[in-house]
Amino acid sequence: MPGSSRPAAPGPLARLVDARPGEAAPALWSFASFFTLLAGYYVLRSLREEMGIRGGVDNLPWNFTATFGLMLVALPLYSALVARVPRARAIPLVYRFFLVTLVGFWLLFRAGVPSAPLARAFFVWVSVYGLFVVSVFWSLLVDLFTTDQGKRLFGFVAAGGSAGAIAGPVCVELLVGMVGVADLVLVSAVLLEVSTRSMGRIIRWSHRSGAALARAAEGSGEAGAALGGSAWSGVAMVFRDRYLLGIAAQMLLFTLGSTLLYFQVAHLVAGSGLDSASRTRLFARVDLAVNVAALLTGSLATGRLVSRIGLGAALALVPALTAGGFALAAGWPTFWVLASFQALRRAASYAVERPAREVLYTVVTREERYKSKAFVDTVVYRAGDAGSAWLARGLGAAGVGLAGSLLVAVPVGLAGVVLALWLAREERRREPSGATRRAA
């Protein structure tokens, strides 16, 4: 049964992940779904970064603000959907909506729509798409897997994402010169459909195995049912619960560091004199380096790592790296130093911090897991992006140099360490009791 303490499943998978009998199939389908999801997204991500520069670096704060505004529209629509439609239908509907929009952008690129407006629209849309599809994926997994399973298996699933995030930039590197931008968008659409079908296998496993009933026994609510509530109920829950509010604050601190670093790298690339294809390849190579590092330095071992060092240390890794890395980069603010720091920070986030953060949601209700988590992962994330973008622009207008802008993020990282340790203690306090675990 899910969450039991039986010995690990035999076979090659047992050497990579602490999977118990009956868990190998859902772990592999989750791996495959996340692999294809992120492979498709990273095909788009390299294009998005190029579109951001093509649309004008000075317009980036407006792009982030537009993304935040679009999130405010998209979130209540998504919340209304999951409030009324069971997850087995709601999740594929969300993914196929994005599939249709991908095909729409493919047609616009093929039709030769004016470059700068389309570039800005594509940048904003991919920024929304990337957060939504990943948030929905993890919402489903934390709904289907128990707290114990999440701590053991989510690192392996994250490895699938890291492998897919390697495959995506490789596709860009190999195909951009042959097929061009438009057909790369179509490649991404095909990968999204494969991910959706793999996700359907995970849902069917949950129904057959009784995993959904185990999650209900942990206080998750009726298995597979629509969530009910209003479109904005997930937002209200965040502001009523200090635990969820702490997760939101952690997200804001993370995005502040990410966006400040992103802006400095974007300005350096924009001033490099490279042409459009070369910039696209450069961004693809940075993404490739990030995700190779993520896969090699931790994703496969994250489940064992969290068990060994504790959830608090896993959550605090990226904030500690942020504080130290920004302080170091301020002394050597060159493109390759900043790009290397960006790659290391993102790799640590994907390999360790992200799957550890998902564990935090295994101890909340189903409505919080779908609605509040979506609010934090999308609206809060993009609010942090927009605020950080204008902060970066304001620092530049005030005459603060590159080194000074980087030093702003040092106290942000230190605050993140403190918050991470508190969240880990609160997660332990909210874990199901021993009696509930035995029932599960």
**Among the listed ranges 126-130, 201-205, 210-214, which one has the minimum average pLDDT value?**
210-214
Domain 17-439 is found in CATH 3.40.50.970: no
Report the alpha-carbon distance of residue 163 to residue 301 in Å, rounded.
14
**Which phi-psi region, left, alpha or beta, contains residue 228 (left: φ > 0; alpha: ψ -120 to 50)?**
left
| pLDDT score for 190 | 93
Spatial contact of 331 and 193, defined as CB atoms under 8 Å apart: no
Q: How far is CA 272 from CA 50, 221, 275, 335, in A?
A: 13, 54, 9, 10
Report the alpha-carbon distance of residue 341 to residue 348 in Å, rounded.
11
HSE (side-chain half, CA atoms, 13 Å) at 366: 26
Q: How far is CA 307 from CA 6, 19, 152, 282, 344, in A?
A: 17, 14, 8, 37, 23
pLDDT digits (tens, 9 = 90+) for 250-278: 998 998 888 888 777 777 776 666 666 67
CA 124 to chain centre: 16
| pLDDT score for 217 | 41
Report the alpha-carbon distance of residue 155 to residue 354 in Å, rounded.
9
| pLDDT score for 221 | 46
Report the alpha-carbon distance of residue 338 to residue 319 in Å, rounded.
17
pLDDT digits (tens, 9 = 90+) for 283-323: 777 777 766 766 665 544 555 566 667 788 889 988 998 89
Q: Where are the domains of the chain?
A: 17-439
Cα Rg of the chain (Å, integer): 21
Q: Is the pLDDT of residue 280 over 80?
A: no
